[in-house]
Amino acid sequence: MFGSLGVPELILILALALIIFGPGKLPEVGRALGKGIREFRKATTSITSEIEEAAKVEEPKAEAREVKQQEK
């Protein structure tokens, strides 16, 4: 349903933004939106890398525990 936006939908969104914010504020809104998206991507990348790093650290510990249990 919301899989992709076509050209007509994008034109409609841009026209509505122009009407709502006006031509003077539209560049400011675009910059703020771009900055917000950039910060969101940076945060998600950081969280993803932290989770992957924690998984790499935890993996050898789990293997060591399995070896000790098999020895018993």
pLDDT at position 64:
67
Tell me the per-residue pLDDT of 13-72, one tens digit each, with 9 for 90 and over.
889 989 998 889 988 988 999 999 999 999 999 999 999 888 887 777 666 677 667 766
This prediction's pTM: 0.57
- Report whether 29 contacts 21 (CB < 8 A): yes
pLDDT at position 2:
59
* Cβ contacts of 26 within 8 Å, gap of 6 or more: 17, 18
65-68, Cβ contacts within 8 angstroms, sequence gap of 24 or more: none
Asked if pLDDT for residue 4 goes beyond 50, the answer is: yes
pLDDT at position 1:
47
The domain limits of the chain are: 26-72
